[in-house]
Amino acid sequence: MASSSLNIAIIGAGPVGLALAIHAARALPDSTITLFDARPAEKDVSGDPRTLALSLGSVQLLERLGAWRAELAQPILEVHVSQQPPSAPSFLPAFFADAIGEPALRIRAVDEAVPLLGAVLSYGSIVAPLQQVWLAAEAADPKRLRSRFGTAVAAIKNLAGAVEVDAGIAESFDLAVVAEGGVFAEQARKALTHNYQQTAWVGTVSFMEPRTGAQKGVAYERFTRHGPAALLPLKDGRAGLVWCVPSGDDPVRELSDAQRVTVLNDIFHEAVGRMAGISALKQFPLGLNAERTLTDGRTVRIGNAAQTLHPVAGQGLNLGLRDAFELIQSLGRNADVDAVLRSLEWQRGPDRWAMIAATDFLARSFTWKLPGAGAARGLGIAALQALGPVKSALARQMMFGSR
């Protein structure tokens, strides 16, 4: 069977599933692509305000697919990572602690010779253009490209050399790609799972003064004793907030909006500027939930369906888009589908497991009661800033993944 004539089912019409469907339609021009999603096609997703950060590699992929809307996005020109004091261990001499001060890691697009490190935009601003491109492609080639919106998939069953997808009627496909992940609290537990006992509070903040040139386009991440907090720059001058705290001793839940703003102004680095207001916040339990392998017979899981990560590095969606791109590229190069699926594990393994390990390590480190754990993070931040080549390698990893 030639890979160019596959019958492929894609379950999930979020950003990863839609990107996969569009890429497959173009790279596999003789294949039949069927996209399933429980969401009705007429449901307007363009107004979904959830804030997402895309790496430069993801921006470039969406540009290739014709689904990038630069006017809706705020470019990230710098990433500023710091830790709330104290960062130096108390047993160090005073002069050494003073030398470390409050360490900050600054990764700048100009230093990496790229126009931007990534971009921030709403979920709706990603999904709506992707869906528009997909529906246009389907309208132009309805015999080959099909949508099943408003159709939930009840079961997937591997067969010999095929896979059965049950969405009210059982149908056989050469390959099923599950890209419908959801959030940690709603997922069935996978092979590798760990509840971090942390909650992410998510919303937006506004500032007392308009963003200056030194602040506009800067994504701030702050390590605190409770957990990481991040501010992602938005097009309108506000910032998207992701504030991670212990679930069992939540310092955010009982605070008023005014108190939350006061705490955030105390938490973040002074370079952020003074915050003035905060939106209503939504909360999400955080955990690791990952499959050991991406493939099972003729079924492939990508994105959150394969690995749900802690948001400390903001890389979950970017990893899923890279999964999608590599899968379709491999299918376009190799006519042996089973060989492609076998090789997918080692092709995606370095990128996937590096991101799983890094986010898991950082997330767990905030729960350690060991003396000096925070100091070790502070020293690590200072070391990365001082070691130019290592910092550049980290920047490339965040922009493009492991290559």
Residue 60 lies in a domain: no
What are the structure tokens assigned to 211, written together?
């963003």
Distance CA 308, CA 287 (A): 7
Residue 99 lies in a domain: yes
Cβ proximity of 286 and 198 under 8 Å = yes
Same domain, 100 and 200: yes
In terms of Cβ atoms closer than 10 Å to its own Cβ (0-12, 13-18, 19+), residue 106 is: middle
Give whole-number Cα distances, 284 to 57, 263, 287, 382, in Å: 27, 20, 10, 31
CATH number of the domain enclosing 112: 3.30.9.10
What are the structure tokens assigned to 188, written together?
């069935």
Give the SS3 label for residue 102: coil
CB atoms under 10 Å from CB of 288, counted, come to: 20
Distance CA 18, CA 22 (A): 6
Residue 63 lies in a domain: no
Cβ proximity of 10 and 36 under 8 Å = yes
Residue 31 lies in a domain: yes
Residue 86 lies in a domain: yes
Distance CA 372, CA 252 (A): 25
Same domain, 282 and 198: yes
Q: What range defines the domain where residue 93 resides?
A: 71-119+191-286+364-400
In terms of Cβ atoms closer than 10 Å to its own Cβ (0-12, 13-18, 19+), residue 237 is: middle
Domain count, the chain: 2
DSSP 134: H
Tell me the mean pLDDT per 10 residues along the chain, length 403: 77 97 96 96 90 96 97 96 69 46 88 97 96 98 97 95 96 96 88 95 95 88 92 95 95 97 95 96 95 95 94 89 95 90 92 93 78 75 89 92 75
Same domain, 301 and 349: yes
State the pLDDT at residue 350: 93
State the pLDDT at residue 101: 60
Same domain, 173 and 152: yes
Residue 239 lies in a domain: yes
CB atoms under 10 Å from CB of 357, counted, come to: 10
Same domain, 163 and 135: yes
Question: Which residue, chain included where needed, has tokens 């419908």?
Answer: 180
Same domain, 172 and 136: yes
Same domain, 277 and 373: yes
Same domain, 95 and 23: no
Give whole-number Cα distances, 294 to 93, 172, 302, in Å: 49, 20, 7
Same domain, 302 and 342: yes
Residue 220 lies in a domain: yes
CATH number of the domain enclosing 180: 3.50.50.60
Partners of 160 in beta bridges? none
Distance CA 82, CA 87 (A): 10
The sheet that has 175-178: what strands, in order across it? 145-149, 32-37, 7-11, 175-178, 299-301, 295-296
State the pLDDT at residue 364: 86
Same domain, 204 and 249: yes
State the pLDDT at residue 382: 85
Residue 65 lies in a domain: no
Same domain, 97 and 208: yes
Kind and range of the H or E element at 204? strand 192-207
Partners of 352 in beta bridges? none
State the pLDDT at residue 97: 46
- Rg, C-alpha atoms of the chain: 22
Same domain, 247 and 394: yes
Distance CA 396, CA 85 (A): 28
